[in-house]
Every structure is written in C-alpha cells, then in structure tokens.
Amino acid sequence: MIKIKLEIKTLEMYKVVMFSEFKYKIKNLEEMKIFAKFISTKIKRNSKFIIFLKGNLGSGKTTFTRLLLNNFGISDKEFEGSPTFTIINEYPHNIFHIDLYRLVDKDELEYTGIYYYLSNMGLFIVEWPEILDISPNMLMRFEITKDSRRKVYVHR
C-alpha cells in the first residue's frame, strides 16, 4: 500500500517537471533582447533542437527569433526576416527559421519537405507550428498585454 502511494507521488512529481511552465514579462525590445540571450543559453547545439513559437499575429515571434539568432552569429543584416512566403529560411550552422502560417492543410505541409528538414540535426525555430505532428524541445507562447508589453510562457 505504501509502495503504491509512493509511486503515484513520484509520477506526479515527474509530471510537474515535464510540464513546468515559466512566465516572463517583457517591457520592451531591450528586455526582449536580454530574454533572447537567456533562452540561447538553454538551447543545445550539435543535436536536434526544435522550438515552437505560438501566439497571435504581431505578438513578437519573428522579432524574438531575430534577437535569438543574433546570439548564434547571425546579424540583423543577415537575418532574412519572416519566412511567411518562403516557409523555411536556412542559416549557417544548421539553423532553420520556419513559418507555417500560410499552410492550409497537412498535404501541403508534406509538400514543403519540412519533415525531411526536421529529420536532420539542427536548430529549428517554428512559428505557427500547430499543423506539425511532432513535439518540440521547447514551446513558447507569446502574448501582447493591453499596454503592448509582452508575456512569454516557456514550456520545456
């Protein structure tokens, strides 16, 4: 009896760790830059690392990506902007910025060859990832507050 209780307790603790969510309040672009630098230290390179960026239009996903990639040697000038039309923007050192907003169904998704890209090593940052049938290493959800600050929820 005691043993079973202990097992359940352990399982609950495991769940808490698995679904831990952290909330960051970000006042302006300067703070977003600091936040992006912090997140860059949590990303494992030399493996496959997938980040999902969720949140409404204009909530800051592409801006965050630009600031994040600044920490991996990609300057603002080299940053190609939003891949809304190209779907995938590829950068040196196996870094991929993906935006699936425009895709309407899973057939079209397959057609982009995205799963081929995702089968390789690399850092994959995916905006509008809801259509993908994979799970990320990190999930971030962006929100705009009434005073146009940002809240970012991070699940790992």
Ligand X SMILES: Nc1ncnc2c1ncn2[C@@H]1O[C@H](COP(=O)(O)OP(=O)(O)OP(=O)(O)O)[C@@H](O)[C@H]1O
Of residues 3-62, those binding Mg ion (CB under 5 A): 61-62
- Report in angstroms how near the CB of residue 101 gets to Mg ion at its nearest: 7
Query: In terms of Cα–Cα distance, which of 119, 121, 125 is closest to 46?
Result: 121
Q: What angle do CA 71, 94, 116 make, to 5 degrees?
A: 140
For residue 11 the two structure tokens come to: 């399982």
Query: In terms of Cα–Cα distance, which of 156, 155, 150 is closest to 34?
Result: 150
Q: Map residues 122-151 to x or -, x wherever contact with Mg ion holds by CB under 5 A.
A: -----x------------------------
DSSP lists the bridge partners of residue 24 as: 152
89 near Mg ion, rule: CB under 5 A: no
The span of 41-49, 54-62, 70-78, 114-122 binding ligand X (CB under 6 A) equals 54-62
Residue 11: its H or E element:
helix 2-18
57, interface contact from Mg ion, ligand X, none, CB < 5-8 Å by kind: ligand X
127 near ligand X, rule: CB under 6 A: yes
Of residues 60-119, those binding ligand X (CB under 6 A): 60-63, 82
- Report in angstroms how near the CB of residue 101 gets to ligand X at its nearest: 6
Question: Helices 29-40 and 61-70: crossing angle, nearest 10°?
Answer: 60
- Interface residues with Mg ion (CB under 5 A) are 61-62, 82, 127
